[in-house]
Amino acid sequence: MTITFRCEHCGKKVEAPDSVGGKRGKCPYCKQSNYIPSPVKDDELIGLAPEDEDERQRTQVEMEAIRDQHKNLIAELGSSDASSAPLERREDLKPEDLYHLVVNYCLDLADSKLEQAEVHLGEMRKFRRTAATAVDDFLNGKAIEPALDRIPTKVLQGFLNQLRSALK
């Protein structure tokens, strides 16, 4: 049997033999050191609750509505101003331009909207270095967002540290 896990650094799927479980090894893709989890026996597995199909469909509908609103807003703005261009087309992208993604990621995690948090993470991964700087700005107190005040400080720091690790 093999142990399958994701590299902590590059996020790629890695397979390792059971015999190396519980040890450290190098990722074959990025060559960074990773902890290889111990193999899990069938009797140790805990069954998950079945997915709520209605909730999943509602989430998909909500996400499609958000994407449509986003597209409509961009179309309405229609400005040739570089600062209003989509992030992917910006040549002068700054960490401040990604603050909204960091805030939305943290708020989604706090509200247990994991799929939406993954969407924000995916957007930030397109700009890894700049996004990591944006996260650092929040961790170092350079960036402040009142909407995050509802998240306990230690929990917020955990979310930000987790996000920082995911962007490596």
Query: Does an H or E element contain 134, and which?
Result: helix 128-139
In a domain, 77, yes or no: no
Task: Give residue-wise pLDDT tens across range 35-64.
Answer: 999 887 777 778 788 888 888 888 899 999
Domain around 103: 92-168
- Best CA proximity match to 28, nearest among 6, 43, 53, 60: 6
Total count of domains within the chain: 2
Does the pLDDT of residue 80 top 60, yes or no?
no
- Best CA proximity match to 34, nearest among 52, 60, 12: 12
Higher pLDDT, 168 or 165: 165
In a domain, 11, yes or no: yes
Does the pLDDT of residue 78 top 70, yes or no?
no
pTM of the model: 0.52
How far apart (Å, rounded) are the C-alpha atoms in residues 21 and 137? 37
- The average pLDDT across 142-165 equals 94
3-state secondary structure the chain: CEEEEECCCCCCEEEEEHHHCCCEEECCCCCCEEECCCCCCHHHCCCCCCCCHHHHHHHHHHHHHHHHHHHHHHHHHCCCCHHHCCHHHCCCCCHHHHHHHHHHHHHHHHCCCHHHHHHHHHHHHCCHHHHHHHHHHHHCCCCCCHHHHHCCHHHHHHHHHHHHHHCC
In a domain, 166, yes or no: yes
Write down the pLDDT at residue 83. Answer: 55
Task: Give residue-wise pLDDT tens across range 94-153.
Answer: 999 999 999 999 999 999 999 999 999 999 999 999 999 999 999 999 999 999 999 999
- Best CA proximity match to 124, nearest among 73, 83, 92, 87: 87
Confidence bin at 72 (pLDDT 50/70/90): confident
Write down the pLDDT at residue 71. Answer: 83
Write down the pLDDT at residue 74. Answer: 75
Same domain, 35 and 101: no
In a domain, 18, yes or no: yes
Write down the residue that tokens 């961790």 correspond to.
Answer: 139
In a domain, 150, yes or no: yes
In a domain, 75, yes or no: no
